[in-house]
Structure 1
Amino acid sequence: MSSSKLTTVLVAGAGGNTGVFVNVILLTRPGSEGKSRVQFLKEKGAKIRFGDVSKDSVPELEKVLEGVNVVLSLVSVAVLNDQKKLFQAAKNAGVDRVIPSDFATASLSGGVLKETKLAIHSFIKELGIGYTFINVGWWMELILPYPPSQPESHVTTLPRFFVGSGDVKSAVTRREDIGKFVARIIADPRTLNAYVFCHGDEVTVNEAYATAKEVGKEDFNSVKMPLSIDQLKEQNPIMRDYYQEMYVLGQNTVENAKQLGAIDARELYPDIKPKTLKEYATEFYKEFPDIRYDF
């Protein structure tokens, strides 16, 4: 697929961080058209097609995919396995390339969630459809601690968990920069049938807290929640898997991603200059991001 050709991309799941495409079609469930993120994308020129990855049959999804070149899945953890129907429909409809909902850390395995995603990879390869697998490390928005004054929620509590020594490097990327990378990756012939790793910075938890103190002008050590891996498993099994691979095993690095066969997105697109954690922290502590993240 030539990168100069008009690329029609269907986004399954209104993630809102997919960048600006030449031609975007948003697949959304009936009744979701009034949601703020859907309205925002419509105002940016996105077309809307209605469908439900969980409920619709393969033939129904095929109709939705007519004229689409690329299917980009941003569905939630709860419906990862339903992507199989979407990708089967994509194969039947003649779609050139599919991108499953990965967008996570660099590791070979990491518990049930990672194994589910790897099973989706195997399914795609068995279908014989073009693909690109994209990982992005950990979100910058989920490593910077929120001040004690912020109301407690899943999102504000997550960065307070503290596992291990705090001195293990982990790759992180700002959500907006993920969108910039993805917009280039999905129409690039070099990334067809390949694994691509995006990253903005590599930092430790201790460095993130030091940055927070410097930029946020508060001492965030009071909000740290030191936990063992077993304690974290009791609180949140999925986060336990992520934190073990990131902060104990040190698997979420650019070097490890390359060892697993990834192409470095920053080497592919040197003109994209993602923000470092310190640069992003200036934005973060001026206005906290709107994140809907629920494991």
Structure 2
Amino acid sequence: MSLPIKNVAVIGASGNLGGPVVDELLAAGFAVTALSRASSTATFPPNVAVKKVDFSSTSDLTSALQGQDAVVSLIATAAVGAQRPIVDAAVAAGVRRYIPSEFGINTREAAQHPVGKILAGKIGTVDYLIEKAKENPGFTWTGISTGLFFDWGLRFGSLGIDVPNKTATIVDSGNEKWQASNLHHIGKAIAAVLRNPDAVANEYIGTASFDVSQNEVLQAVEEVTGTKLSVTRVSSEDLRKLGEEKLAAGDFSAFLQLVRVWNFADGAGHALGANSANAKLGLPNDDLKATIKAVYS
């Protein structure tokens, strides 16, 4: 059994996911240090230590990570390919667990899908972690797929549901179930991994607040808000073609179309079901209607 993890360095702690993750790590009793760029003006809770770091310098990162038991990377998708120096610094500093910036669809499964081309940085980082863990037995990693950010996605319309404009865009039949997580659920999952690191050492796991379909979300949103939405139905094949055309032209806004195909297309098969790590992590599912009520209250 490995020593307990106490000190956790978080990279990207000021982003959309950062606040909820830091909150849940603090609530779980971890000592949290936020690593940020020298130019950053981000602020953090008073009980979070802050270290300014040159992320292009492995030596600077190694110094900053001294005494840390774990690193949680919340780096945005556009920068995830730049995690190798952080991984090298973590190994050099004696960090025992690295949680890479996954927190979305399962990139191990998506590697051969068109959306995988956009997620190449994430895929490469996990490949690199696998190598480093083999070379350094004291260094471990855990990849966590969470599916779509549910409460965040409702607020910003990325799930195809737009309550302010009273519209919904439903892909194919709308009955396909997909993996979805609220931001605080993701923070709880990270804390659970770090509380019991041996349970999921050098594993890629999936967690979710719930598996849900677009039609279930639409029905629940209409019931909770009392708002009838105007529904437009689109074909996943049309979305795929548009996404691939954009990608071929170097337009990475293709991600919106391709990730909707990945999740919502009839027969996609990316709900977690029995493959969820929630039971192993001791995590309950969230309540769909309670989540919707909190978003729109």
TM range (shorter): 0.7 to 0.9
Q: 1:147 Cα deviation (Å)?
A: 2.0
SS of the residue corresponding to residue 111 of structure 1 reads helix
TM-score using structure 2 length: 0.80
| Alignment of structure 1 residues 86-235 onto 2, 5 Å | 86-106=86-106, 108-109=109-110, 110-128=115-133, 129-141=139-151, 142=153, 143=159, 145-149=161-165, 160-188=168-196, 189-221=198-230, 224=232, 226=234, 228-229=238-239, 230-232=241-243, 234=246
Matched, 1:241 2:258: yes
Contact 2:59 2:89 in 1 (8 A): yes
Tell me the distance in 2 between the aligned counterparts of 1:140 and 1:240: 17
Q: Which residue of 2 aligns with 1:289?
A: none
Q: Give the direction of change, closer, same or farther, for the CA distance of 1:226–1:130 in structure 2 (3 Å limit).
A: same
Percent sequence identity over aligned pairs:
22
Deviations 1:187-206 (A, max 9, x none): 31211111221111111111
Q: Which residue of 1 aligns with 2:156?
A: none
Q: Which residue of 1 aligns with 2:136?
A: none
Look up the equivalent residue of 2:80 and give its one-letter code. Answer: L
Deviates more, 1:125-134 or 1:80-89: 125-134
Tell me the distance in 2 between the aligned counterparts of 1:88 and 1:276: 40
TM-score using structure 1 length: 0.80
Contact 1:144 1:212 in 2 (8 A): no
Tell me the distance in 2 between the aligned counterparts of 1:216 and 1:226: 24
How many corresponding residue pairs?
261
Contact 2:5 2:70 in 1 (8 A): no
Contact 2:168 2:218 in 1 (8 A): no
SS of the residue corresponding to residue 19 of structure 2 reads coil
Q: Which residue of 2 aligns with 1:290?
A: none
Kindly report structure 1 stretches of 4+ aligned residues shifted beyond 3 Å: 159-162, 224-227, 231-235
Contact 1:140 1:277 in 2 (8 A): no
Tell me the distance in 1 between the aligned counterparts of 2:170 and 2:243: 9
Contact 2:211 2:273 in 1 (8 A): no
Look up the equivalent residue of 1:195 and give its one-letter code. Answer: Y
Tell me the distance in 2 between the aligned counterparts of 1:200 and 1:52: 35
Tell me the distance in 2 between the aligned counterparts of 1:243 and 1:73: 25
Tell me the distance in 2 between the aligned counterparts of 1:91 and 1:162: 45
Deviations 1:42-93 (A, max 9, x none): 23x111011143xx21111111111111011000111111101100111111
**Gaps in structure 2 of 5+ consecutive residues:** 134-138, 154-158
Q: Which residue of 1 aligns with 2:287?
A: 276
Tell me the distance in 2 between the aligned counterparts of 1:231 and 1:214: 33
Contact 1:6 1:23 in 2 (8 A): no
Tell me the distance in 1 between the aligned counterparts of 2:6 and 2:185: 20
Tell me the distance in 2 between the aligned counterparts of 1:205 and 1:85: 39
Tell me the distance in 2 between the aligned counterparts of 1:69 and 1:6: 6
Tell me the distance in 2 between the aligned counterparts of 1:20 and 1:98: 15
Q: 1:215 Cα deviation (Å)?
A: 0.6
* CA RMSD after TM alignment: 2.4
Tell me the distance in 2 between the aligned counterparts of 1:118 and 1:285: 35
SS of the residue corresponding to residue 186 of structure 1 reads helix
Tell me the distance in 2 between the aligned counterparts of 1:251 and 1:183: 28
Task: From 47, 50, 75, give the equivalent of 2:49.
Answer: 47
Q: 1:225 Cα deviation (Å)?
A: 6.9
Look up the equivalent residue of 1:17 and give its one-letter code. Answer: P
Contact 1:103 1:137 in 2 (8 A): yes
Tell me the distance in 1 between the aligned counterparts of 2:20 and 2:227: 29
Task: From 238, 262, 267, give the equivalent of 2:279.
Answer: 267
